[in-house]
Amino acid sequence: MEKYRRIEELGRGAFGCATLVTNGAGERCVVKEISLGHLAPREREAAEREAQLLRQMHHSNIVSYIESFVEDSSLYIVMDYADGGDLASAIAARRAPPRRPFAEGEVMRVFAQVCLALRHVHALNILHRDLKAPNIFLTARGVVKLGDFGVARALEASTGGACARTQIGTPHYLSPEICQDQPYGKKSDMWALGVVLYEMFALRVPFQAGNLPALANKIVSEDPPPIPDCYSADGCALVAQLLAKAPRQRPSVGQVLRGVYLQAHIAKLLAHAARTG
């Protein structure tokens, strides 16, 4: 860590912390420090897997991997810094009085970029498994970056790239199949993407409950409250498709990106990028 200068701690979890640093050129980076000493072999393997997966990701809408190294019984993963905070914080700011919903164009600019990132991830036959608003990062230039691949998993060739079984993720974003302890695959990431889209429209997650069993029951058996009627029928329909209870009824990320509704917003996004350089 000698070549990095610590600025401030950005967050702390069960296994380590994320710190904002500068490198020798004065550029800001984020260092994720994971203490390996107290981890069980399986947990250590998961930490090292994140660095391995990040090395495979080369996409403008994915947090860029810079390097990783082990020092003093800790694994350090160095990534680029998104200077606009995360999507969860942006949603919370809009939800606070006076409530200020996102314009539909704002929602779709974020959503389209997350879709582009997820298409890259799924093309590598990787499940993110923890797609949620806190793991979507924003920049001052309007670029959106998907991050935190700490529980991501490369699908085994022996399964045909079809499914995983380990129950993992963040409760409000869990798909019905995970709640029912069934095998799951890329369509589970699509459910989580639908939760994020709903959350940007409604400024709340679609299913809420006081405890995990009650939440799982709602996810499996209930429909979410409708999103506000200020949004288009196309937006409402896309939410409904992504939050279909049966995985086979949900579109793939490629199908979402090819849809007329999203194509119109991608054209606007490209035009904006061309104007701003």
The interaxial angle of helices 233-242 and 260-276, nearest 10 deg, is: 110
Pairing of strands 16-22, 28-35: antiparallel
**For residue 101, cis peptide bond before it (omega within 30 degrees of 0):** no
32 annotated ligand binder: yes
**Hunting for tokens 């970056």 — which residue is that?**
145
Query: Does 234 participate in catalysis according to the annotation?
Result: no
Q: Give the H/E segment covering residue 7.
A: strand 5-12
Cβ atoms of residues 131 and 189 within 8 Å: yes
> Which is catalytic among the residues 80, 86, 130, 189?
130
- Backbone torsions φ then ψ of 16, nearest 5 degrees: 165, -160
Nearest residue to 206 (alpha-carbon basis) of 252, 248, 171, 179: 171
Task: Name the residues annotated as catalytic.
Answer: 130
Q: Report the binding-site residues for ATP.
A: 32
Q: Per the annotation, where are the binding residues?
A: 32
